[in-house]
């Protein structure tokens, strides 16, 4: 059985929304060849996708609840206090040298009852100035991905591996990741998600519990596989900042997002 035509349409809508004006012919042909479409004109398929997308989004929302409802009813108050206490600790933290150069520590943001967490690397310049994770161009791209998955940004939980901006926008050192990891570990425990998506190699390295060397992690080789952190499936994918520079890899990120959606059902 081939790929369902609805899946092909979803995929095309996603690329269209991300600003793609053209789809490589070979890729489109292979999609249609493997789909269950009997006869579809490519142009009409692309032109007809906008209305279908909004319908599909609603269908997604009705099928997938993004909240851990049971957990929030029983432990809502405790979760709020736990995350407030954690965020206060992060704001006062001076455990690593990044505290000397940061403007604002950046705590996680979003719904603490979410079933889906996105974990990035470390705050960039915009995040450092505003104290909010994933703002700026990379943040817009992540928001676009979340919406294409059928959710709103406030439905999910978004955080970083390291909570303070490394000077010069460099990658965090292994030592900084290790020192800061306790905060991420506690965030995951509090939110208790069903699925985690790691954005880039730093978050992937951290959730692999730092068992290898950071420089040995190649996200292009790891993505497409699922591993487990404390029994929670982790789906590694590219960091949005990388995707801004390498637009062709957005195709692969959408595949990873679909794996996350399958596991949320």
Cβ at position 190, least distance to ligand SF4 in Å:
16
Place of tokens 């290790």: 178
Rounded distance between C-alpha atoms, residue 225 and residue 205, angstroms:
14
Quote the least distance from Cβ 239 to ligand SF4, whole Å: 18
Cβ atoms of residues 181 and 159 within 8 Å: no
Stretch that binds ligand SF4, among 29-37, 48-56, 89-97, 233-241 (CB under 6 A): 89-97
Q: How many residues does the chain have?
A: 265
Cβ atoms of 77 and 190 within 8 Å: the answer is no
Question: Cβ neighbours of residue 139 under 8 Å, at least 6 residues apart?
Answer: 126, 127, 133, 240
**Integer Rg of the chain from CA:** 19
Q: Indicate the residue among 98 and 116 with the shorter CB distance to ligand SF4.
A: 98
Which of 20, 181 has the CB closer to ligand SF4? 181
Tokens at 24, concatenated? 């490589």
Q: Quick one: 172 or 236, whose CB is closer to ligand SF4?
A: 172
**Out of 96, 107, 158, 207, the residue judged to bind ligand SF4 by CB under 6 A:** 96
Residue (164 or 219) nearer to ligand SF4, CB:
164
Return the number of the residue (35 or 160) whose C-beta is nearest ligand SF4: 160
Token couple for 171: 């990658």
Of 18-26, 93-101, 109-117, 143-151, which part binds ligand SF4 (CB under 6 A)?
A: 93-101
Q: Of 132-191, which residues contact ligand SF4 (CB under 6 A)?
A: 162-164, 176, 179-180
Stretch that binds ligand SF4, among 30-38, 91-99, 147-155, 198-206 (CB under 6 A): 91-99
Confirm or reject binding of residue 32 to ligand SF4 (CB under 6 A). no
Give rounded-to-5 percent helix, strand, coil for the chain.
60, 10, 30
CB of 154 to ligand SF4, least distance (A): 23
Contact 157, 116 (CB under 8 A): yes
Size of the site for ligand SF4 (CB under 6 A): 14
Write out the DSSP string of 63-119.
H---B-HHHHHHHHHHHHHHHHHHHHHHHH--SSTHHHH-SS----EE-TTBSEEEE
Say if residues 59 and 13 touch (Cβ distance below 8 Å).
Answer: no
Q: CB of residue 31 vs ligand SF4: minimum separation in angstroms?
A: 43
User: Pick from 23, 56, 68, 105: which binds ligand SF4 (CB under 6 A)?
Assistant: 105
Return the number of the residue (31 or 164) whose C-beta is nearest ligand SF4.
Answer: 164
The distance of closest approach from Cβ of residue 134 to ligand SF4 in the complex, given in angstroms and rounded to an integer, is 17
Binding residues for ligand SF4, per CB under 6 A? Answer: 90, 93-96, 98-99, 105, 162-164, 176, 179-180
């Amino acid at each position: 059985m081939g790929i369902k035509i609805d899946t092909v349409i979803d995929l095309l809508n996603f690329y269209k929304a991300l600003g793609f004006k053209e789809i490589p012919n070979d890729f489109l042909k292979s999609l249609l060849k493997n789909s269950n479409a009997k006869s579809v004109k490519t142009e009409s398929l692309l032109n007809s996708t906008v209305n279908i997308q909004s319908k599909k989004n609603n269908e997604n929302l009705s099928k997938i609840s993004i909240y851990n409802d049971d957990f929030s009813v029983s432990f809502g108050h405790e979760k709020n206090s736990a995350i407030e206490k954690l965020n206060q600790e992060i704001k006062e933290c001076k455990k690593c040298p990044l505290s000397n150069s940061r403007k604002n520590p950046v705590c996680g943001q979003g719904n603490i009852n979410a079933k889906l967490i996105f974990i990035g690397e470390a705050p960039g310049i915009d995040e450092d100035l505003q104290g909010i994770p994933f703002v700026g161009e990379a943040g817009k791209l992540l928001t676009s991905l979340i919406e294409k998955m059928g959710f709103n940004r406030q439905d999910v939980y978004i955080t970083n591996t390291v909570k303070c901006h490394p000077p010069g926008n460099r990658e965090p050192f292994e030592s900084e990741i290790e020192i800061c990891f306790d905060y991420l570990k506690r965030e995951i425990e509090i939110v208790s998600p069903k699925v985690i998506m790691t954005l880039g190699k730093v978050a992937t390295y951290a959730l692999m519990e730092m068992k290898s060397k950071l420089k040995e992690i190649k996200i292009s080789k790891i993505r497409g596989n699922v591993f487990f952190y404390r029994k929670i499936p982790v789906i590694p994918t590219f960091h949005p900042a990388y995707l801004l520079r390498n637009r062709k890899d957005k195709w692969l990120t959408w595949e990873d997002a679909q794996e996350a959606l399958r596991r949320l059902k």
